[in-house]
Amino acid sequence: MTVDATRTEDIDPADAARRRFRALAEPELPRLYRLARRLVGDEAEDAVQDCLLNAYRKLEQLEHDAAAPAWLTRILVNCCRDRHRRRARQPLEVAVEDVDQFSLYRKLADEDPFPYSDSLHLDFLHRFGREDVQAVLATLPEHYRAPLLLVYVDGFLAKEVAQMTKTPLGTILARLHRGRKLFERRLWDYAEANDMLLEPVA
Amino acid sequence: MISCAEAVRKLWEYLDGLVDDAERAAVEEHLSVCRRCCGELEFAEELRSFLAAHGDEELPPDVHARLAATLNELEGR
């Protein structure tokens, strides 16, 4: 049987693998970058670059294309851990205001910023656009912001966050608790500072 | 029965399924008689959805362009 030379070129395995890699990795870029931002902050772009290079070298280990998102995530998390190790520092435990007793729900009920409203609490949240929320989140220290976003935006379990960041689960749970309270407090502070609360009608 | 402060402290963990059976029962017992904490619970759910909807960070176009360039380079090897 004769082999068609053009046909052989078309199925060059190396070429096919490179194209396969691109097709698998490109749609994942936004998600990988977002995850890297949570894990290594300003080094996110470099971590994703590391991840792409490592994954490309190990492509033959990926048996099913459907497993590509989870496979890329594992490689990225390892790249982020390496960066953490090289930086050889733990997230800075900065002192924040005491927020344990703060409840945004009660604060809104007590201060009643939107009198005559039947949906006081929802009205408050609806005043925030995406940029406002990003600005509020940016005020949170990294070690509170990262677990909060990994769990509530990206949908990871607390124990997965603990594994990814090599942090004890108890510490992650405590940071989630405090991060949520701090987020509530900072939403209120932001609304106050930016005139988002209406004056009660006299 | 647990106090409002204790119930509120446990609400997000309750919503996240991170409480044990005894804690869940204690929160639910409190919620069955405390209207204000039911409001807190509803608001905690709203706040979770709100954070999920607004906390997403976009991939900046210049970063996307540089990462795509890496993929181009790998594809051309």
Query: CB–CB of B16 and A121 under 8 A?
Result: no
Tens-of-pLDDT digits for all 202 residues of chain A?
A: 455 545 555 667 777 888 889 999 999 999 999 999 988 888 999 999 999 999 999 998 998 899 999 899 989 999 998 887 776 555 555 566 778 778 899 899 888 887 777 788 888 999 999 899 999 998 998 889 889 999 999 889 999 999 888 899 999 999 999 999 999 999 999 999 998 886 544 4
First to last CA, chain B: 68
Query: Does the beta-carbon distance from A180 to B68 stay under 8 Å?
Result: no
**A22 to chain B: closest CA residue:** B71
Q: The domain spanning residue B17 has which CATH number?
A: 1.10.10
Separation CA A164–CA A125 (nearest Å) = 31
Query: What is the distance in angstroms between the Cα of A98 and the nearest Cα belonging to chain B?
Result: 14
Chain A interface with B: residues with Cβ < 8 Å = 18-19, 21-22, 25-26, 29-30, 33-34, 37, 45, 48-49, 52-53, 56, 100-101, 103-106, 109, 121-122, 125, 128-130, 133-134, 137, 148-149, 151-153, 158, 173, 176-177, 180, 183-184
Domains of chain A with CATH codes: 5-87 (1.10.1740), 104-193 (1.10.10.10)
Q: How many domains does chain B have?
A: 1
Q: What ipTM goes with this model? A: 0.83
Residue B73, token pair as written in the block: 């380079």
Q: Give pTM, 2 decimals.
A: 0.80
Q: Which of A52, A105, A183 has its CB closest to that of B71?
A: A52
- How far apart (Å, rounded) are the C-alpha atoms in residues A121 and B60? 32
In tens, the pLDDT along B23-71 reads 999 999 999 999 989 999 999 999 999 999 988 888 999 999 999 999 9
Give me the domain span that covers residue B68.
4-75
The answer to whether A13 touches B70, Cβ cutoff 8 Å, is: no
Picking from B71, A168, A192, A124, the residue whose alpha carbon sits closest to that of residue A159 is A168
